[in-house]
Amino acid sequence: MTVADELQTTIEQMVQPGKGILAADESLPTIAMRFAPIRTESTGESRRAYRTLLFTAPGIEDYISGVIEFEETLAQTTDEGTPLSGVLAQRGIVPGIKVDQGKGPLALSPGDFITDGLDGLAERLQQFKKQGARFAKWREVYAITQDNPTVLGISANAEMLARYAAACQAQGIVPIVEPEVLMDGDHSQARCAEVTEAVQKEIFYALHRHHVVLEHMILKPNMVLPGKAHPVRASAEEIAAMTLRVFKRTVPAAVPGINFLSGGLNPEEATANLNAINAGFPHAPWQLSFSYGRALQQPVLQAWGGKPENVARAQQVFLKRARLNGAAQRGEYLPSMESSD
């Protein structure tokens, strides 16, 4: 099988109607914050137990096509000794891996960020592939202020994403390109649209320069919505309309899938927004789906509470959340579904 065939096979398995991606790639500090409200200490064993709960939940393969893992998880196993990535693969769910190494300030560009991790990336990708990973994810972050992101910040981040994506495809690994325009701040929806459009345009210019094959990548962007501190909230329909306007202007039709991040939205908001996007553009050239972390996991963590006796109930909660987002991917979600078992 050629590298191109390998990439195409992975894309076809990941981009399926009614399915999306679970982001379970929380770093150690982030998952510690997730565990704190349920009074569970973040240890290697507690993280293994929780991710085992997620990956073995009955029925999720009907709604989840891929899982983004944290590097630690690739080496962990179930109680029976089966690698967690192997559990996913056996169920037809594609294992993936977060390969960026976190953000920091962009030098001489106050307010802008840049993500680290390109050094040694090819070698790390080879190792991750041996451990079962077939796709990867890299996140760049854009804060909105009066002055940010700057032209330099936008171009530098686009270059990083393109170099990462090219490195992945060279190794036969599908890249998920994640540019996240943050919700933090009091900016308007129009300002978010302006920044998101500029970010997306620069990213696709950079991907073209680096010979990235668009048919063999997935875009994981933010939805276009007002900042969390903005006095006026937008409806799901308003968010869908503005998001689709920006993406029709910026994302080539060759890209097979756009899997939105939830970016601080609560589970119900994330599902309702995705549904409105699909209902508003049923014949989009891309599959419009989800790649949610907290919006899929928050209710699961609350149901689990770190207790083994709650695993079955927590798995039912996870299956329901996955099922509702699968319906939203088809534009078939109704708020009344939230109250059903």
Residue numbers in the chain where pLDDT is lower than 70: 341
pTM for the structure as a whole? 0.97
Length in residues, the chain: 341
Amino acid present at 276: A
Task: Indicate the fold that domain 3-334 takes in CATH.
Answer: TIM Barrel (3.20.20)
Distance CA 175, CA 207 (A): 11
Distance from C-alpha of 182 to C-alpha of 158, rounded to nearest angstrom:
16
Q: CA 40, CA 46: separation in Å to the nearest integer?
A: 8
Return the pLDDT at 1. Answer: 85
Of the CA atoms within 13 Å of residue 189, those in its CB half-sphere come to 18
The three state secondary structure string of the chain is CCHHHHHHHHHHHHCCCCCEEEEECCCHHHHHHHHHHHCCCCCHHHHHHHHHHHHCCCCHHHCEEEEEECHHHHCCECCCCCEHHHHHHHCCCEEEEECCCCEEECCCCCCCEEECCCCCHHHHHHHHHHCCCCEEEEEEEECCCCCCCCHHHHHHHHHHHHHHHHHHHHCCCEEEEEEEECCCCCCCHHHHHHHHHHHHHHHHHHHHHCCCCHHHCEECCCCCCCCCCCCCCCCHHHHHHHHHHHHHHHCCCCCCEEEECCCCCCHHHHHHHHHHHHHHCCCCCCEEEEEECHHHHHHHHHHHCCCHHHHHHHHHHHHHHHHHHHHHHCCCCCHHHHHCC
List, for residues 289-330, the tens digit of each pLDDT value: 999 999 999 999 999 999 999 999 999 999 999 999 999 999
How confident is the model at residue 341, as a pLDDT?
63
- Number of Cβ within 10 Å of residue 116's Cβ equals 11
Cβ-contact 287, 15 below 8 angstroms: yes
Beta-carbon contacts of 217 under 8 Å, excluding residues fewer than 6 positions away, are 165, 169, 174, 175, 176, 177, 207, 255
Exposure letters 279-301 (e unless 16+ CB within 10 A, then b): bbbeebebbbbbbbbbbbbbbbb
Beta bridge partners of 40: none
Q: Take residue 272 and report the two structure tokens written for it.
A: 């309702």
Phi and psi for 296 in degrees, rounded to 5?
A: -95, -35
101: its two tokens: 């190494």
Where along the chain do its domains lie?
3-334
User: Do residues 170 and 213 touch, judged by C-beta distance below 8 A?
Assistant: no
* Amino acid letter for position 306: G
- The rounded distance, in Å, linking the Cα atoms of 326 and 59 is 12
Mind listing the pLDDT tens digit for each residue in 254-263? Answer: 999 999 999 8
pLDDT per residue as tens digits for the range 134-152: 999 999 999 999 999 999 9
For the annotated catalytic residues, the residue numbers are 220
